[in-house]
Amino acid sequence: MKNPLAKMSRRERLYVMAGGAVLFFGLVVYPVTKKVAAFRAEQFELLQDELQLLENLYTFELDAWTIEEEHEKMVAALRKADDLFFPPIENRILTQTAMTKLLNELGPDLSLETTAGRSSIGDAANQMNLQIKGEGRYPEILKFIYRLETYRPLILVDSISLAERRTRRRRRDTSTDASEPQLTLNMSIKIICQAGGE
């Protein structure tokens, strides 16, 4: 059998070879190149995702370091501020008794009565609410409030009310009384204790 290319002229052979090359490129090289390009694009996208993930992790690590540093600063500040808190609550009754004694020392002329205040659900274990009732003249109450405000550890005043004490007059007296009236004091306070109690 004779070679069909032998019968063709040189120009025809060139055309056949060029056509074969085009067919080879179109059927083999182009699809392979396309798949390789798609694979490279996919790998590049995965690499970009990995880089983004690494960048996010680095940011999280920086954030964690910053948070830890802030936490250490806050703990150090709280250690310095320990004198602002009362000792830990080991026994609520003993703490309330100690507070009653302290309040009577701060307001000796007011005949103070101290009872446990109403606790809210959100109250912390290291917090105690107290209700105070007493009677006295305005300057004595003012002194007591000033002593509460300047006392360390902190005593937080939640609410306060003053009312004139009502007394029955035995006889009608038209003269003005120069003495100051007795006032009734109602106050709600809160103390915060150091952690580590009950």
pLDDT tens-place string over residues 32-59: 888 888 888 888 888 888 888 888 888 8
Encoded tokens for 32? 């392979």
Q: How confident is the model at residue 10 (pLDDT cuts 50, 70, 90)?
A: confident
Q: What is the dihedral of CA 162, 168, 169, 170, to 10 degrees?
A: -150
150 domain-assigned: yes
Average pLDDT over residues 138-150: 91
- Among residues 53, 79, 105, the one where a domain terminates is 79
**137 and 114 part of one domain:** yes
Q: Is residue 26 part of a domain?
A: yes
Domain hosting residue 161, numbered range: 92-165+182-192
pLDDT digits (tens, 9 = 90+) for 99-117: 999 999 999 989 899 888 7
Which DSSP letter does residue 193 get? B
Q: Indicate whether 52 and 103 sit together in one domain.
A: no
Task: Please tell me whether residues 29 and 62 are part of one structural domain.
Answer: yes
The answer to whether residue 31 scores a pLDDT higher than 60 is yes
Question: Which backbone phi and psi does 74 adopt, to 5 degrees?
Answer: -65, -40
Rounded Cα–Cα distance for residues 175 and 182 (Å): 18
CATH number at residue 130: 3.30.70.60
Q: What percent of the chain has pLDDT over 90?
A: 20
Q: What is the pLDDT of residue 123?
A: 58
Distances in whole angstroms, Cα of residue 189 to Cα of each of 26, 72, 163: 89, 31, 18
Same domain, 43 and 120: no
Confidence tier at 167 by pLDDT (50, 70, 90): low
Q: How confident is the model at residue 135, as a pLDDT?
A: 93
Please check whether residue 20 lies inside any domain of the structure. yes
The answer to whether position 96 is within a domain reads: yes
Considering the domain architecture, whether residues 146 and 98 belong to the same structural domain is answered as yes
Quote the pLDDT of residue 101. Answer: 92
Residues 25 and 52 in one domain: yes
Total domains present in the chain: 2
* Residue range 169-184, pLDDT digits in tens: 545 554 445 577 889 9
Give me the pLDDT at residue 176, please. Answer: 46
What pLDDT was estimated at residue 103? 92
